Structure 1
Amino acid sequence: MADVIVFDLYGVIARTQSPEAIRRIEKVAGVSGESATAFWEAYWECRPPYDAGQDGAAYWAAVADRLGTRFPDVPGLVEADLDSWVDVDEAMVELVVELADRGRTLGLLSNIIDELVPRFEARHGDWLSRFAALTYSCRIGVAKPDPRAYLICAERLGVAPGEVLFFDDREGNVVAAREVGMRAEVFRSPAQVRELV
């Protein structure tokens, strides 16, 4: 039985960007077709420093530089981007509450940008309060799969890495968690989590 369970946020409890959100971002950025493909490549390639605490303006400047362009409405782009990351999987939220009610110690380890944290917490503070530790990449200065992120998370929970069962939707993050001693699984579904815990 796993008593200390750490979840990734996006792709596990929170939903990734919907097609509608993606189209909204593309519209504000003024991209389509091949330019949209290049935009998303730059969006993700420039993301790690943003996840680790970089200022939003610097992030979007880096994306624009990568593309050799300028965005006409950076505040609108920031807003569309933040809004694209606030939806959750209600089945997973129910599971979080259930596990907390059963006495499990829960932790969250998420690569997340600083501007998004207050917005996400304002909307989802009720169930986030069930976590013993919320470890955000932007607040600790490192992002998964950096080994330090996992060690900081375990330390905040007051346990050794080997006492943690960790779920993430990305194989690379799971491998990195195992390398620091955590038991880790690629997230598939709430049913999978129930079976393993």
Structure 2
Amino acid sequence: MSTDRNIVLFDLFGVIARHQRPGALEKMAARCHAPTDAFTTAYWACRPPYDAGQQSAPEYWTAVLRRLSLSVDADTIEELRLTDIDSTIEELRLIDIDSWSRVDDRMVAYVQSLRDVAEVALLSNIPADHADTFLLAQPWLHDLDHVALSGKIKVAKPAPAAFHHCVVAMRAAPTDFLFVDDREDNVRAAQATGMNGHLFTDRDELAAVIDSWLPTRHPTGK
């Protein structure tokens, strides 16, 4: 059942915001005196509960360092032990936040322009402390109709509950939504909840999809 509304629900990173800054993982690995490949494995393996608001930043980074201690050599472990762990964790946290701080200005402008013809919302996987910084740095987010950030809502895509959160929060029906993400697993998860979905590749293709979707939904737009 539809409530006859047009809601474009955007992912953030890889769509409106840039992916992680090149060289960031190497920089964080060097701070840990660890090989980049071992650090990268630990960084991503420990990430899900941090993204979903189930861990604080110190808990996440402690888990990363513990995982590293199982996969690096004895000299590296000793270097980590001799380091001020709290200082290391805070430095890693700040490097990490900065690495996810860039936006695509053309996409920001496009998203803002859509509010003339549709409701616009955001659903992003982002830890709570990252979210706080991003919200301060990007005031345009406060103009959207709804912003759901995984670290704040305590659930991350592709879990169905992340999409249901948006449906309930906006008092809408799943079929009112067009969900846009650059990851196919997330798009499929949204479609499984009843939302329409589009796999993002570039702005021009997305604009064509939205232009064709809106008239079939409601001729007068918003």
TM-score by length of 2: 0.82
Within 5 A, what are the aligned runs for 1:31-110?
A: 31=34, 35-53=35-53, 54-68=55-69, 69=77, 70=80, 72=83, 73-100=88-115, 102-110=116-124
Contact 2:123/2:148, CA 8 A, preserved across alignment: yes
Q: 2: distance between equivalents of 1:17 and 1:66? A: 22
SS in 2 for 1:158: coil
3-state SS in 1 of match to 2:179: strand
Deviation at 1:93, TM superposition (A): 0.4
Q: Deviations over 1:116-152 (max 9, x none)?
A: 1121111111x21231110111111111010000010
* Identity across matched positions, percent: 39
- Which residues in structure 2 correspond to 1:95-174 (within 5 Å)? 95-100=110-115, 102-125=116-139, 127-174=140-187
The 1-side partners of 2:150 and 2:43 are apart by: 17
Q: Secondary structure at the match of 2:97?
A: helix
Comparing 177-186 with 67-76, greater Cα deviation is found at: 67-76
Give the conservation status (yes or no) of the 8 Å contact 2:62–2:89: no
For 1:192, the equivalent position in structure 2 comes to 205
SS in 2 for 1:184: strand
Unaligned runs of 5+ residues in structure 1 are none
Deviations 1:53-110 (Å, cap 9, x if unpaired)?
110111011111112154841111111001111110111101011101x231011001
User: Which residue is equivalent to 2:8?
Assistant: 5
SS in 2 for 1:61: helix
On the 8 A contact 1:10/1:16 being kept in 2, the answer is yes
Aligned to 2:213: none
Output the aligned Cα RMSD: 1.7
- Find runs of 4+ consecutive structure 1 residues off by over 2 angstroms: 20-31, 69-72
Q: What is the aligned counterpart of 2:25 among 10, 22, 26?
A: 22
Provide the C-alpha distance between the structure 1 equivalents of 2:170 and 2:149, rounded to a whole number of angstroms: 13
| In 2: Cα distance, 1:99 partner to 1:154 partner | 19
* Count of residues in Structure 1 that have an aligned counterpart in Structure 2: 192
Residue 8 of structure 2 aligns to a residue whose secondary structure is strand
Report how far residue 111 of structure 1 moved. 0.6
Q: In structure 1, what residue type is equivalent to 2:95?
A: A
User: Which of structures 1 and 2 has the bigger CA Rg?
Assistant: 2
| 2:57–2:129 Cα contact (<8 Å) kept | yes
